[in-house]
A and B are shown apart, each in its own frame.
Chain A
Amino acid sequence: MSDSHYTPKSKVGKWFNDRLPLLTLANHLTDYPTPKNLNYWWTFGGILTFCLITQIVTGLVLAMHYVADTKLAFASVEHIMRDVNYGWLIRYVHANGASMFFLAVYIHIFRSLFYGSYKSPREIIWIIGIIIYLLMMAAAFMGYVLPWGQMSYWGATVITNLFSAIPFIGEGITTWLWGGFSVDNPTLTRFYALHYLIPFLILGLVVLHIWALHVPGNNNPVGIEIKKPSNDTVPFHPYIVIKDAFALLLFMIVFAFFVFYTPNILGHADNYIEANPLVTPAHIVPEWYLLPFYAILRSVPDKLMGVIAMFSAILILVALPWLDTSKVRSAVFRPLYKQFYWILVLDVLVLGYVGAMPAEGLYLLVARIATAYYFIHFLIILPFLGFIEKTNPVPLSITEPVVAGAAMATRSDGENKIENNLKSLG
């Protein structure tokens, strides 16, 4: 890395840095050359870091008042809401913070899908990201169980029962997860312990995610490799810091709107009824961010196959860097992929919608078609598209389309094609 020659100016700084090169790290993060054309879709990494820290801080405070016991949990959450100073605020920030976290992570993931950020040499960044996403879902699910309302209890029952679909050992695994013969006190206490642990695992993975990112550097909207540093890059501080901070402010306005104006709109009224093992709510639905996967689970009429389909829908993303065979990263230069990308976005939104609806009639039919299309997109369309798609010419550098934009336009198509072919070879 170019910044390995950094020497602190002060004597004390040099003394410290020779023993622990923290200042070298700080210098690397400050000067880190970033593509100068990053748009606002690139600000969600910073926003997600903010979300993680918000969840850890508010969660730590809630843990000081919450009691993980089936007889006391529900009351302790109400105690937080009514008695603890600012308890209502802290809990609403934590509960809505989970939704905001997922909102940001979905934008972040779809940003990668659009600009091909998962492609070589960034596969490891992408896979670490998928693991973080899986851990986020685990943490969110267990966190939702803690208030011990009806949705907590029955959500926990349905999700843990997914493992009973595994042949032969499934029942044993489910009993082991529960620590009993149904979701009960042992389940609640272990979920609490794990809910506390997972954010710190995520934090560790975020460090790896960023480390892996800083090896090749950021992808960019044009999707080409750039020289770093060069006149295609700007230092991370102050350029990207300011841009990220501005985007974060806008994001916090949305966050604050939910917290202060509609704190319960993303939850379920049933969860304000204490858990009752003898009565299942008429309509069990997971939180909104899990709905597309829930729709996939329900669209398959066989228990084991439904569970396999649901997990495959997430795990298929791990193979994405190899399923997408196109040499061109950014959808900007891929006219066909761009259209399929938006169809996929629509498909996932449709899955989310039908996931919230009862699994019958037309909803079920739509869920089945959307599920099939989801897999077709990744397993059939993407691998073939790389071979048949005629991509548009890709610029040589980020600066080129700006300063030589007019020149580019006047050049013949043939020249562009040759250049493009050369690039895909090199």
Chain B
Amino acid sequence: MSDKKPKNRRDFIFTATAAAGAVGVGAAVWPLVDQMNPDASVKALASTEVDISSVKPGQSITVVWRGKPVFIKRRTQEEIDKARSVSLEELKHPEKDEDRVKNPEWLVMLGICTHLGCVPLSDKGEYDGWFCPCHGSHYDTSGRIRKGPAPINMEIPEYVFLNDNTIKIG
């Protein structure tokens, strides 16, 4: 082991062959790996338009966007006040309610618990927002995590108000 061999042309050929082989294997494997990513037909369903004219204050509807539930909640003034009166120090994932809504009356968010992806139940839990039955995460009226194993607040998807009665998600 200790005797030093001089580097010769054969060593170079070995290294070059191994390197070219590694690139070749990588190039051959990548399509096999990438085929599992979302395909064109899945990506094509990227946006959904929702008519919200029939939702009354305090009511919540659930729509499907990219196969996931989206909660559209028309909050009452009481619920808005409750969400806004909380100080940021009390929050596990500090976010102002103002930053989570475009119109304070309408809370639009992905109805997916950030712990392990269950759909939380509305108007339940210790903070009168949402409660996840799977592993016991409590969310407030702004969809922020207050108690339980979920690490962050429920996500806000990209959306715009096309007019007073229509929201486009995505």
**Which A residues lie at the B interface, using CB under 8 A?**
154, 157-158, 160-162, 164, 175-184, 186, 190, 277-284, 298, 300-304, 306, 358-360
Contacts and interface: CB of A to CB of B under 8 A. Distances in A.
B118 interface: yes
A295 to B, nearest CB: 12
Contact of A181 (B36, B62, B66, B120): B66
B135 A282 contact: no
Interface string B118-130: 1111000000000
A22 to B, nearest CB: 35
A181 B112 CA distance: 12
Contacts of A161: 115-117
B117 to A, nearest CB: 4
B118 A278 contact: no
Interface in B57-86: 62, 64, 66-69
A162 B42 contact: no
A162 B69 contact: no
Among A158, A161, A277, A280, find the residue whose CB has the most chain B CB atoms closer than 10 A: A280
Contacts of B150: 303
Contact of A186 (B42, B66, B134): B42
B interface majority secondary structure: loop
Contacts, number: 89
B67 A177 contact: no
Contacts of A277: 64, 67-69, 119
Given A282-B133, A303-B150, A190 B118 contact: no
B37 interface: yes
B21 interface: no
Nearest to B111: A278
Contacts of B67: 180-184, 277
Interface of B: 33, 36-39, 42, 62, 64, 66-69, 115-121, 132-136, 148-151
Given A298-B135, A306-B149, A181 B118 contact: no
12 contacts: A176-B36, A176-B37, A180-B66, A181-B38, A182-B67, A277-B68, A277-B119, A280-B119, A280-B121, A284-B133, A298-B149, A301-B148
Given A158-B134, A279-B119, A284-B134, A179 B38 contact: yes
Contacts of B39: 179, 186
Contact of B151 (A178, A180, A184, A303): A303
Given A176-B36, A180-B42, A182-B68, A278 B149 contact: no
B118 A154 contact: yes
A180 B38 contact: yes
Contact of B66 (A154, A179, A182, A283): A182
Contacts of A284: 118, 133-134
Contacts of A360: 136
Contacts of A281: 133
